[in-house]
């Protein structure tokens, strides 16, 4: 489907099942992550032709630090390799990259590469790719509330004026639209601390196949299914139709 510049579609993906995919084949878990990284490249390339304008990938959660040290180190090497290997390609395909999450626990050399990739793709106007690393929805909300509280304590913000807009502005995703559609692979039916505030009215799809088996064709089928849904946003009838038109504009 050709991209329609008059509409916006923000898809989030919880990329689950890399380790189990590898274990089912008698391979080390890092082999699944390696295969999953290749899938990322394919999905990023395919997304614009499916009308996706914003793509947010859940790459590493705040809880993932509890995994075995060797697996965490392997993931950090994969992130580094992805950035180094895809920086020129992402720019050539007009992909703007942002990272959300805490960052300070990420190795310094990787943080530098993340900053560099963001800087080099800042002027890109094609796909908006957001990668969540050391990210957790509760942590994000906690940091946002601390920031708002500090502003209020310092007199820069009156408590009675604090509303949803102030919270949204304090989040990592302040420059991004809320997600419309979130996909989770590998059969788990939970949100796992991903975009808790932003996904209030997102549609969800929970797919049984693991992330390494998630192809552009599967993404296309999922997006087609999403487009057939009627999003009500808590409303009914004509109100829901009007709200959907506003959300997609």
Residues placed in the known binding site for substrate: 17-21, 29, 33, 61-63, 65, 67, 184, 190-192
Residues 6+ apart with CB under 8 A from 76: 106, 107, 110
**Given the structure tokens 């991209």, which residue do they identify?**
3
Query: Which residues are known binding-site members?
Result: 16-21, 29, 33, 61-63, 65, 67, 184, 190-192, 203
Catalytic residues: 16, 64
- Exposure string over 144-160, b if 16+ CB within 10 A, otherwise e: beebbeebbeeeebeee
Query: Which residues are known binding-site members for Mg(2+)?
Result: 16, 203
**Given the structure tokens 């939970």, which residue do they identify?**
190
Q: What is the DSSP string of 128-146?
A: EEEEEEEE-HHHHHHHHHH
Greatest extent of the chain over all pairs of C-alpha atoms, in Å: 59
Q: What is the DSSP string of 151-171?
A: HHHTTSS-GGG--HHHHHHTS
**Given the structure tokens 């999450």, which residue do they identify?**
101
Length of the chain: 249
Contact between 188 and 16 (Cβ < 8 Å): yes
Contact between 117 and 87 (Cβ < 8 Å): yes
């Amino acid at each position: 489907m050709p991209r329609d510049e008059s509409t916006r579609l923000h898809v989030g993906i919880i990329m689950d099942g890399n380790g189990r995919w590898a274990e089912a084949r008698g391979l080390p878990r890092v082999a699944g992550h390696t295969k999953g990284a290749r899938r990322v490249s394919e999905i990023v390339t395919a997304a614009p032709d499916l009308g996706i304008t914003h793509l947010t990938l859940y790459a590493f959660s705040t809880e993932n630090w509890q995994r075995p040290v060797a697996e965490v180190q392997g993931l950090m090497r994969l992130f580094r390799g992805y950035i180094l290997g895809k920086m020129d390609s992402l720019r050539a395909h007009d992909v703007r990259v942002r990272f959300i999450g805490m960052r300070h626990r990420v190795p310094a050399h990787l943080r530098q590469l993340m900053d560099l990739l963001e800087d080099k793709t800042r002027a890109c106007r094609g796909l908006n790719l957001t990668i969540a690393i050391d990210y957790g929805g509760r942590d994000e909300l906690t940091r946002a509330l601390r920031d708002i509280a500090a502003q209020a304590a310092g007199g820069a913000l009156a408590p009675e004026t604090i509303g949803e807009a102030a919270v949204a502005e304090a989040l990592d995703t302040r420059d991004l639209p809320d997600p419309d559609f979130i996909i989770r692979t590998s059969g788990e039916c939970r949100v796992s601390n991903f975009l808790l505030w932003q996904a209030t009215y997102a549609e969800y799809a929970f797919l049984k196949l693991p992330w390494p088996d998630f192809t552009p064709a599967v993404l296309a089928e999922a997006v087609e299914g999403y487009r057939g849904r009627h999003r009500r946003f808590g409303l009914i009838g004509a109100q829901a139709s009007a709200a959907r038109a506003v959300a997609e504009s």
